[in-house]
A and B are shown apart, each in its own frame.
Chain A
Amino acid sequence: MNGPVDTAPPGPWQTAFRALGGNRSAMMALAVLVLIVVLSLIAPFYAHDIAHTDPFRANVAGSFMLDGRAVDIMQANDNPLHLGMTPAGPTWRPSAYMLGSDSQGRDVAARLLYGGRISLLISFSAAVLCIVIASIVGILAGFFGGFVDMVLSRLMDIMWAVPVYLFAISLSIVTISDGLKIGPFTIEADNLLIPIAIIALVYMPYAARPIRGRVMALRNADFVMAARSLGVPRWRILLVDILPNVASSIVVLAPLMAALALLTESALSFLSIGVQTPTASWGTIIQDGEGLIYSRPMVAIAPGLAIVIVVVALNVLGDGLRDALDVRETSKRGT
């Protein structure tokens, strides 16, 4: 869809992005997100060239150098009975075990970055997939109404009736052992597509409902009536009049869905029915830290904080997008 020609005044999208650019908290949130994505992307570089560890291999017998001294990764417990071992605590130096070690002697900082890759990949892909499915369902239901709407809406009601986490957990447990077989295709149980698809599916009704409502309102809008009175075919009204007008709602939903997807992914991984070992995700790292919560709390706190920061940033960004994309408000400002 090519929009206005060169000399045109700023269109609604341009205006919106300018408004978003002027929103300081949204821009901060965006900067934080970009920073976290970049940090996750450089995870291999950090592991190999800065921390010199392999975050996926247990290393209980090893040691690392700290201030010229060799320090055991697993240290004798300092409790009165000297039972068991405690992994090394945070050194706060990026060169080695910055955030300490987990119970298997792996570098938590490096695992955190690797976990970020997986967590963000899953949550962003799940959000995109969810929004795409929800848009199709919502637009079809809202635009065609009648029988199509009835079938799709009842289907969504059924999905809605099951609590999200319960739904996601049930689906995960079913697929965790044998993977997913769709006709001749089999998706292995450890494939990331499985958590992505599950998360996208369980949140679909939450995104489809508002889109459907918006489309239903738009279907009766005067400009749709005007287009019909000019003899524009239905599919063209759908593409030209309806879709661009719901696009703003869809864009606003995206970061919120990503935040929900991240939380769900972490929860599933924490319950070890999401991402499978040895792959790290923020949820699995928290699970690793669960047993060390009294002695080495940083193992669970670091990924927990990462989740909180990303979820808050996504929500702030979503709010900023909603403010920026409110078409009705901009039209008032314009005249």
Chain B
Amino acid sequence: MAGDAPLLDVRDLSVSFRSGGRDVPIIENVSFAVCEREILGIVGESGSGKSVTAMAIMRLIDDPGVTLRGSVRFRGQELTTLPQKAFRTIRGREIAMIFQDPMTAFTPVYTVGWQIDEAIRVHERLSKAEARARTVRLLGDMGVPDPERTANRYPHQLSGGLRQRAMIAMALSCNPALLIADEPTTALDVTVQAQILDLLRNLRTDYGSAVMLITHDMGVVAETCDHVMVLYSGRVAERGPAAAIFSQPAHPYTAALLDSIPPLTGPRPTRLPSIAGAPPAPLERPPGCAFAPRCHYAHAACDILPPLVRCAEQEVACVLPGEGKALPPRMTERVEA
């Protein structure tokens, strides 16, 4: 997506927690940018720091032992040093967030509509009736059938898909420029998942919102995202346009991730290739490339932390392209939807 200054510009973001007298680094020097109306996918295994990245941007981590370093700029404004009060006007109004489990993201004691009304009225001086009118319209836009009745229902009376739609409606209630979606489809079944992804894709045209989509599902990324950032053990492994990354992954980890998706065409493999081993715990991260212990291509050069280097269309934290031994392109080209 074109755009001169990015909407959100994250530079060298590091988060560490104090635990047992030591600083445990959760994410290290993560940098990325989200442009207006762009969908950025953040992919990684559990514990790779996806959610922590999102929470750090929203400043939702209130652990007393947390240390945050780096810069987060939103429309050129530095967010990390903004006073609490000023930051509250950003939350919800400029950047909103939706969560993995829509069941627990609503308080059980009020109706869904009441909660969305409240979210609107936190930021805008509207009467109850005006807020409710917008709530109903939003729910309708999100494809909720009979929005007026649904608004009067309690969270436990809605299905998972409806709840997630209501959650997105709540996040969009003040028309934020950026929506951070933390695994929005993980708790849903596949058909509903596809509908919700459609909804997210259409947000940029209908609401002009950019989306930061956090997921561990490469299929979801392929279907929705313009750009992808692959995180491994709290560090950026690779980032670039989705099409490039899917057709020609430059990091062995990305390639391995893509290989572990069952192919839709051709002979079915009897056993899907999997990545041997497990990601290192934050304290046991090797000083060099964190993926090296699991990597087929690991060699002496991997003992030094590889910087992000440009390789074709994307940037990759791997020594292979620099050594002229880039990975072969994948057989399956990205199918344009």
A67 at the interface (CB under 8 A from B): no
Asked if B157 contacts A3 (CB within 8 A), the reply is no
Q: Which of A11, A146, A236 has the most CB of B within 10 A?
A: A11
Set of chain A residues within 8 Å of B153, measured between Cβ atoms: 8-9
Bitwise interface map of A from 311 to 326 toward B, beta carbon under 8 Å scored 1, else 0? 0000000000000000
- Cα–Cα, bound, A72→B152 (Å): 71
Set of chain B residues within 8 Å of A223, measured between Cβ atoms: 104-107
Among A225, A231, A247, point to the contact of B122 (Cβ < 8 A). A231
Interface size, chain A (Cβ < 8 Å): 32
Interface SS of chain A: helix, strand, loop or mixed?
helix
Asked if A225 contacts B107 (CB within 8 A), the reply is no
Set of chain B residues within 8 Å of A11, measured between Cβ atoms: 109, 111, 154
Set of chain A residues within 8 Å of B99, measured between Cβ atoms: 222, 225-226
Residues of B in contact with A, size category? 35 or more
Asked if A7 contacts B152 (CB within 8 A), the reply is yes
Set of chain A residues within 8 Å of B155, measured between Cβ atoms: 331
Asked if A331 contacts B108 (CB within 8 A), the reply is yes
Asked if A330 contacts B156 (CB within 8 A), the reply is yes
Q: Shortest distance in angstroms between A208's beta carbon and chain B's nearest beta carbon?
A: 21
Asked if A4 contacts B91 (CB within 8 A), the reply is no
A184 at the interface (CB under 8 A from B): no
Set of chain B residues within 8 Å of A226, measured between Cβ atoms: 97, 99, 105-106, 167, 170
Set of chain A residues within 8 Å of B88, measured between Cβ atoms: 231-233
Among B64, B107, B111, B123, point to the contact of A245 (Cβ < 8 A). B107
Cβ < 8 Å to A, chain B residues 155-173: 155-157, 159, 167, 170-171, 173
Chain B, Cβ-Cβ closest to A11 = B154
Bitwise interface map of B from 220 to 251 toward A, beta carbon under 8 Å scored 1, else 0? 00000000000000000000000000000000
Q: Shortest distance in angstroms between B82's beta carbon and chain A's nearest beta carbon?
A: 12
- Cα–Cα, bound, A233→B84 (Å): 10
Asked if A9 contacts B101 (CB within 8 A), the reply is no
Among A8, A225, A228, point to the contact of B152 (Cβ < 8 A). A8
- Cα–Cα, bound, A3→B106 (Å): 15
Q: Shortest distance in angstroms between A5's beta carbon and chain B's nearest beta carbon?
A: 7
Asked if A230 contacts B171 (CB within 8 A), the reply is yes
Cβ < 8 Å to B, chain A residues 65-110: none
A327 at the interface (CB under 8 A from B): yes
Set of chain B residues within 8 Å of A183, measured between Cβ atoms: none
Cβ < 8 Å to B, chain A residues 1-53: 3-5, 7-9, 11-12
B326 at the interface (CB under 8 A from A): no
A186 at the interface (CB under 8 A from B): no
Asked if A9 contacts B157 (CB within 8 A), the reply is yes
Asked if B64 contacts A12 (CB within 8 A), the reply is no
Set of chain B residues within 8 Å of A8, measured between Cβ atoms: 111, 152-153
A163 at the interface (CB under 8 A from B): no
Among A3, A228, A240, A244, point to the contact of B118 (Cβ < 8 A). A240
Set of chain A residues within 8 Å of B122, measured between Cβ atoms: 230-233, 236
Asked if A4 contacts B111 (CB within 8 A), the reply is yes
A278 at the interface (CB under 8 A from B): no
- Cα–Cα, bound, A244→B111 (Å): 13
B186 at the interface (CB under 8 A from A): no
- Cα–Cα, bound, A64→B261 (Å): 97
A151 at the interface (CB under 8 A from B): no
Cβ < 8 Å to B, chain A residues 204-256: 221-223, 225-233, 236, 240-241, 244-245, 247
Bitwise interface map of B from 85 to 123 toward A, beta carbon under 8 Å scored 1, else 0? 000111111001101010111111111001000110011
Set of chain B residues within 8 Å of A232, measured between Cβ atoms: 88, 92, 118-119, 122
Q: Which of B88, B103, B154 has the most CB of A within 10 A?
A: B154
Q: Evaluate whether A225 and B171 lie within 8 angstroms (CB atoms) in the complex, with A4-B114, A12-B108 already known.
A: no
B200 at the interface (CB under 8 A from A): no
Among A146, A228, A241, A244, point to the contact of B91 (Cβ < 8 A). A228
Q: Shortest distance in angstroms between B48's beta carbon and chain A's nearest beta carbon?
A: 20
Set of chain B residues within 8 Å of A222, measured between Cβ atoms: 99, 101, 104-105
Q: Shortest distance in angstroms between A4's beta carbon and chain B's nearest beta carbon?
A: 5
- Cα–Cα, bound, A225→B170 (Å): 13
Q: Shortest distance in angstroms between A240's beta carbon and chain B's nearest beta carbon?
A: 7
- Cα–Cα, bound, A240→B97 (Å): 19
Asked if B119 contacts A335 (CB within 8 A), the reply is no
Chain B, Cβ-Cβ closest to A243 = B109
Q: Shortest distance in angstroms between B225's beta carbon and chain A's nearest beta carbon?
A: 21
- Cα–Cα, bound, A331→B105 (Å): 14
Asked if B114 contacts A229 (CB within 8 A), the reply is no
Asked if B96 contacts A230 (CB within 8 A), the reply is yes
Asked if A231 contacts B105 (CB within 8 A), the reply is no
Set of chain B residues within 8 Å of A7, measured between Cβ atoms: 149, 152
- Cα–Cα, bound, A229→B171 (Å): 9
Set of chain B residues within 8 Å of A4, measured between Cβ atoms: 110-111, 114, 152
Asked if B119 contacts A230 (CB within 8 A), the reply is yes
Set of chain A residues within 8 Å of B154, measured between Cβ atoms: 9, 11-12, 334
Known: A222-B99, A222-B105, A226-B170. 4 other contacts (CB 8 A): A231-B90, A233-B88, A241-B107, A331-B108
22 contacts between A and B (CB under 8 A): A3-B114, A4-B111, A7-B149, A11-B109, A12-B154, A146-B64, A225-B99, A225-B105, A226-B105, A228-B58, A228-B60, A229-B60, A230-B170, A230-B173, A231-B91, A231-B122, A232-B88, A240-B107, A241-B107, A245-B109, A331-B156, A334-B157
10 cross-chain pairs, A with B, having the tightest CB-CB distances, nearest first: A331-B156, A230-B92, A231-B91, A231-B92, A222-B104, A229-B97, A244-B109, A231-B88, A8-B152, A334-B156
